[in-house]
Each structure stands twice: as structure tokens, then as C-alpha cells.
Chain A
Amino acid sequence: METLNSRVRIVWFAGVLITTAFVGAVLFAVRRFVFDIAVWLPLALAVVIFVLGGIYTVFKYRVWRFEIRDDDLYLERGVFTRVTTVVPFVRVQHVDTQRGPIERLAGLGSVVVYTAGSRGADVTIPGLTPERASDLQRRLRNLAIESEYEDAV
């Protein structure tokens, strides 16, 4: 079983920070323009989101793992709802690598695996170094081609 690069926590936590800043800003705007709320309320809420988000990030990282097995890609994730996904290589339609702005700053990338399924049609593996991401993409693509089966749908 492979775990994600530990820097992915930075990426996730950046998301938490953005949410915190956004909620804080909205509440301050409400305080400024709509009605007077105590100054500590936005601050307290921001702190709560910040702390809970941080804890969530830590747990999320601990749970996240994946493995390339003989015939399929196996993923485990989820803090509250634990999700285990099995994607057989024969079902892989195509594989993308993706790098968002924050991911680029952290020097990370993600691999997105697409299937024709209706539920969870795309499976994302975040927190990979660019080399690992392109290596994984190549490997998954080759495995998908190897196990090619004409009738994908």
C-alpha cells in the first residue's frame, strides 16, 4: 500500500485556510454592512474552522492509501465515510495528470483515472510528486492497454 506524499497536507490545509478566510470575510462584511454582530463571532468561527479543518486534514492524510494490484487500482479514503474503490485496468478509459495552482506551489500533482461508470466516474489520486504522477499515469495507461478488451462498454 502506498501513502500520499506528506506535502499533500499543505495543499489540503491551504483549502481550509481559503475557506476560513472566505467565511471570515463574509461575516465581517455582514457586520460592516448588514447588522452589528459581536466582533468575536467571526473570529471564533474562523478559529473553529481552522482547527477542525486542520484535524480533518491530518486524519484524511492518515486514511488515504492506494495500491496498484495485478488487475486493478485499489484506493482507500475518507474520514467520516470510508470509501474503498476498485478500478479494474480493463475499465480505464483514459488517465490524466493535473496540477492546480496550490499543488504547483507545493510541488505536487494528481492523477485522474476515468472510467465509463456512472458513479465515481473519475477517481483522483492527489499528493504525488510530478515524477511519480507521470510515472503512475504511464504505468496505468500501459496496464490499461495491456489488458485491453474491445468492449469497454
Chain B
Amino acid sequence: MKLHPLSLPYRLLTRSMSLALTLFFVGTTLASAVESINIVITLALVAVGLLVAGLWEVVYYRRFDYVLTDNSLDIDSGVISRRRREIPLRRIQNVDISRNVVQRVLGIALVGFETAGGGETEASLRFVAYDEARRLQREIQRRKRGATERDEEEEIQPDVLYEIRSPELLLLSAISIEPRVFGLVFFIVPFLTGAAESFGGLSFLFGLAQLLVSALVLWVASAMVTFARYYDFTLLRVDDELRYERGLLQRYDGSIPLDKIQTLTLQENPLMRLTGYATLSVETAGYAPGQGPSGGSEAAIPLATRGRVLRLAHSIESFDDPTFTRPPKRTRRRYIVRYALVVAGLTALAFAVNWFTELFPFWYATLALLVLAPVAGQYQWKHRGYYAGEDHVQTRNGFWRRRIHVVPYYRVQTVIQRETIFQRRWRLGTVFVDTASSVGFGGQEAHAADIDVNDASEFRELVRRRLGGQIRERAARARMEKTESEQFSSE
């Protein structure tokens, strides 16, 4: 199959525009520096560049060819060095379609194919007709199941799991901004007021107003981005796949295969906890929400009431209601000490700033924050915990953004227990339950933090045993199904 004919002029235009601009910029810069280069040579340079780019695109289009076979997607491409890539359908995790406004008018779409292991898109088609993109998405899922017969065409009725409602979308837009951003504003205020005071009261007020306005602009801008991103969000279940559609300016259609789900994550920031809302994200081995090639969050449910999110999560994976085991009480002391040290650090910083600039005559005022340390410690302790259920392990973490991870045992890749030198003093350890999902960085993976060393070792071995058990169970079931179908066919 060839790419859509309109993809040629579209690529030509978008690519050559930026190329021409770059060349023109380089040319004019050179012209001002080197005498022998003038505007004529610059324009000639641009023209030659455009010609080469145009030829390149034409050859690219003519050379590009893809075909969907029963068990693989084969792509021939390359202008100078030619390449044939064959991707086994079984390995394809997600098929994503994205269209911006212009592409929507032209009726073309970008299709990205995601495989496990790595944040890079395995292959992409730029661009095919939108209908063709949808066909590929559907067909890949169908053929993955091994249903090759054409006559099995009766469309599986999609089951609407979730549609964002306007009030929810507005609420999401309003609260999706990080509370930390606002925290930053309050952190900056003392600096500004300190600076403004030296110019008199009027400029102080002026500075404050400026700050408020910029905070407001920041908030509105972020709300608008969220609004455009999740506009008209729908989540469908088609047989054993989740499909979502979203976006105002740029429209995304993505698929999440249910049998490739690694982790379910429930997230709540303090505002959501207060209002009883939550976010659910579904991580597959291809990539995690927010890490997709489209850049935006593929969150399975951007925002819904907590009860609804839980119901949906249960319909995807039937996990137990957790009773979280909190870390031992002594960790609370550890957290309090930690926050007290942070306050001490801040005070030292304020002192240093005052020493050099004399902007902070009351540098020791930050010590008042010490009152908050026990509260913060208690809060952090309260929101941590782990639970080893029948089929799933669940962990809870997060001070601001509370995350509950639900990991099926048979998705566990490795179990890692870590005791840092500070944890060892308190006889504590952290157990990481690693899966193939790509959101493995920045402490965002499932982990039972700061539990007693003995509990940690026990938990580690428990997860390992249950993983083994579940895999044996699944293998036995697969064998049984196989022999059953053999018996059936021999009869």
C-alpha cells in the first residue's frame, strides 16, 4: 500500500517551509558576516535546498510501501539506503492515530505503531487516509487474535466506558495545574516584596499585582491546554482492547490492548481528594501515559468521581479492595526529621542570601515552618502503604499526588529490595515491583516504601512466589485449552 497521495504535497509544504526558513536565516547571517555572500546567493541557496528537499520527498513517497499480512506489518522505506522492516503483529502494543486541524481538513492521519521496550515509536506512517488508519487499527487487533477469516466481519459493538462531561472537563482544566506551581509563587513573593520595598510602597503593590496577573495567566493557559487536550474524550471497549479518542485541535485515536496492561494507576492530587475525584491511567508495555509519541497524556480516564474510576478500574482488572499496611510508626519520625532538615536548609539559604544582599533581615522567620514538619511527616506516612492481594499487588505513595498502583502478579518482571544507608539505621527497606511499563523513572513505579526490613524480605518473596504460581496456572490453563481444542478437532 502507498501513502495517501495528499501526504506528498502536505509533507512537501510543511517540510520545505521550515527548511527554507532555516536556509534563509543561515544565508542572511552569513551574508552579514561574509562579504562575498549577498541576497542573490542566499535566495539561490534556498532554491537549491527546496529543490533537493522536493526531490527527496517525491522519491520518499514513491519508495514508501507498506503491507499488512496475516502476522506482520511490513514497511519498505528509505531514499538513499533502503530498508525493509517487518514487525510481527503480536509485538504491536498500541496503534495511535493523530490528526491536526490541517490534516483533518485533508482527511489524512499519522499512524504510529508502538511495541514493547522503549519510548520510541517502532514505525509510523506519514500520512494515510483516516479511514485507512482506522482500518489498520481494527485489522491489527483482529489479526492479532488470529481471526484471519474475512467472513468474521461482524463488527464487535464498541462498549462506551467513559465520556467526559462538560462540567468534568472544565473542572479538570481548572485543577489540572500542579499545586506545586502555586507553591512556587508563594516562594517567590518574599523575594519580590523584599526587592520592592527598597523602591517604596507603590512599586511593591505594582509588583504584587504583576505577580497575581502572571499567576492567573499561567493558570488560564494551562487550563486551556488541558481543555484542548481532553476535549470530547471517549473511552471505548472493543472486545479485548480499549480505544480512546480525544482532542480539540489535534485529534488522537489510540488503542490499548487489555492483555498487555502492566499497571493501573489511580492518581489524586489534594484538590481531587477534596472534591472526590480521581484519575486512572493504564500503562502498557509500549509506553505509559504522557510518554507517547503524541506527547499528550493517554490517561485512560482523565477525571471522574472516585467511585466511577474504581468501578472502571475493576472492569478492566478485577482486583481486591485493598487494606493498605502502612509503614511502621518509626518512619513517621524519619519523615519529620527529614522535613525539619529541609526547613533548616531553607533557613540556611535565607541566611546566606541575607548575608550577601541584606534582603532578608528576618531570615530566621523560615524557622516557623518547623511547625509544619510533624504535620507533613504524619501526612506522608498516612498516604503510604502496600497490600498483597490474591492476584494483584497494590502500593500507595505520594505526598501531593497520591498514586495507587495495581500490578497483577503475572506482570512482575523483577523484584528489587533496596536499603539505603539511612534506611538501614532505622531497619527499613523499600521493595520495587518492576513491570515492563515504561513509567519506571522518578520513583513513579509501584513500590512499598520504607517498610520494616523483615516485612520487606517477606513481601519480596511473596510477590516472587505468587508470580511463579500465576504463571504456572496460566501455562496449565493454556495447555488444557490446547488439548481441549485438539480433542474437539479430532472428534
Chain A positions near chain B (C-beta within 8 angstroms):
71-72, 78, 80-88, 90-91, 115-120, 123, 147, 149-151, 153
Give the distance in Å from the alpha carbon of A82 to the alpha carbon of B456 in the complex: 13
Contact of A150 among B416, B460, B478 (CB under 8 A): B478
Check A82/B432 contact, CB under 8 A, given A88-B464, A118-B437, A149-B471: no
Check A117/B468 contact, CB under 8 A, given A82-B419, A85-B416, A86-B415: no
Which residues in B have their C-beta under 8 angstroms from that of A147? 471
Contact of B416 among A71, A80, A83, A151 (CB under 8 A): A83
Q: Is the CB of A149 within 8 A of B474?
A: yes
Nearest CB in chain A to that of B260: its residue:
A153
Check A118/B435 contact, CB under 8 A, given A83-B418, A88-B467: yes
Q: Is the CB of A81 within 8 A of B440?
A: no
Which residues in B have their C-beta under 8 angstroms from that of A151? 259, 474
B415 → chain A, closest Cβ, in Å?
4
B436 at the interface (CB under 8 A from A): yes
Q: Is the CB of A120 within 8 A of B434?
A: yes
Nearest CB in chain B to that of A149: its residue:
B471
Which residues in A have their C-beta under 8 angstroms from that of B285? 116, 153
Which residues in B have their C-beta under 8 angstroms from that of A72? 464, 468
With A85-B414, A88-B414 given, name 15 new contacts (CB 8 A): A71-B464, A82-B418, A86-B464, A88-B467, A88-B468, A115-B413, A116-B285, A116-B436, A118-B436, A118-B438, A119-B416, A120-B416, A149-B475, A153-B116, A153-B285
Which residues in B have their C-beta under 8 angstroms from that of A85? 414-417
Contact of B414 among A71, A81, A91, A153 (CB under 8 A): A91
Give the distance in Å from the alpha carbon of A24 to the alpha carbon of B219 in the complex: 51
Q: Is the CB of B435 within 8 A of A81?
A: no
B264 at the interface (CB under 8 A from A): no
B274 at the interface (CB under 8 A from A): no
Give the distance in Å from the alpha carbon of A149 to the alpha carbon of B464 in the complex: 16
Nearest CB in chain A to that of B411: its residue:
A153
Q: Top 9 closest A-B pairs, CB basis?
A: A118-B440, A117-B413, A84-B417, A117-B434, A116-B436, A82-B419, A86-B415, A153-B285, A153-B116
Which residues in A have their C-beta under 8 angstroms from that of B467? 88, 90
Which residues in A have their C-beta under 8 angstroms from that of B461? 86
B117 at the interface (CB under 8 A from A): yes
Q: Is the CB of A81 within 8 A of B419?
A: yes
A55 → chain B, closest Cβ, in Å?
15
Nearest CB in chain A to that of B288: its residue:
A118
Give the distance in Å from the alpha carbon of A124 to the alpha carbon of B438 in the complex: 21
Which B residues from 367 to 381 make CB contacts under 8 A with A? none
Chain B positions near chain A (C-beta within 8 angstroms):
116-117, 259-260, 262, 285, 412-421, 424, 432, 434-441, 445, 457, 460-461, 464, 467-468, 471, 474-475, 478
Q: Is the CB of A115 within 8 A of B414?
A: yes
Q: Which of B116, B259, B413, B432 has the most CB of A within 10 A?
A: B413
Nearest CB in chain A to that of B285: its residue:
A153
Query: Can you sample 18 A-B contacts with CB below 8 Å?
Result: A80-B420, A84-B416, A84-B417, A85-B414, A86-B415, A87-B414, A88-B467, A91-B412, A91-B413, A116-B117, A118-B436, A118-B441, A119-B416, A119-B432, A119-B440, A120-B414, A149-B471, A151-B474
Give the distance in Å from the alpha carbon of A118 to the alpha carbon of B474 in the complex: 23
Nearest CB in chain A to that of B91: its residue:
A153
B454 → chain A, closest Cβ, in Å?
13
Which residues in A have their C-beta under 8 angstroms from that of B419? 81-82
Give the distance in Å from the alpha carbon of A88 to the alpha carbon of B413 in the complex: 7
Q: Is the CB of B471 within 8 A of A118?
A: no
A137 → chain B, closest Cβ, in Å?
18
B282 → chain A, closest Cβ, in Å?
15
Q: Is the CB of B440 within 8 A of A117?
A: yes
Give the distance in Å from the alpha carbon of A54 to the alpha carbon of B2 in the complex: 63
Q: Is the CB of B421 within 8 A of A116?
A: no
Which residues in A have their C-beta under 8 angstroms from that of B468? 71-72, 88, 90
Which residues in B have their C-beta under 8 angstroms from that of A80? 420-421
Give the distance in Å from the alpha carbon of A31 to the alpha carbon of B267 in the complex: 54
Which residues in A have their C-beta under 8 angstroms from that of B475? 149
Q: Is the CB of B417 within 8 A of A117?
A: no
Give the distance in Å from the alpha carbon of A117 to the alpha carbon of B118 in the complex: 10
B408 → chain A, closest Cβ, in Å?
12
Give the distance in Å from the alpha carbon of A90 to the alpha carbon of B413 in the complex: 9
Nearest CB in chain B to that of A147: its residue:
B471
Check A81/B474 contact, CB under 8 A, given A72-B464, A118-B439: no
A122 → chain B, closest Cβ, in Å?
10
Which residues in B have their C-beta under 8 angstroms from that of A120? 414, 416, 434
Which residues in B have their C-beta under 8 angstroms from that of A119? 414, 416, 432, 434, 440-441, 445
Give the distance in Å from the alpha carbon of A81 to the alpha carbon of B423 in the complex: 9
Which residues in B have their C-beta under 8 angstroms from that of A153? 116-117, 260, 262, 285, 436
B407 → chain A, closest Cβ, in Å?
12
Which residues in A have their C-beta under 8 angstroms from that of B260? 153
Which residues in B have their C-beta under 8 angstroms from that of A91? 412-414
Check A81/B116 contact, CB under 8 A, given A72-B464, A149-B471, A153-B285: no
Nearest CB in chain A to that of B418: its residue:
A83
Give the distance in Å from the alpha carbon of A101 to the alpha carbon of B413 in the complex: 32
Nearest CB in chain B to that of A87: its residue:
B414
Contact of A117 among B420, B435, B441 (CB under 8 A): B435
Which residues in B have their C-beta under 8 angstroms from that of A82? 418-419, 424
B360 → chain A, closest Cβ, in Å?
33
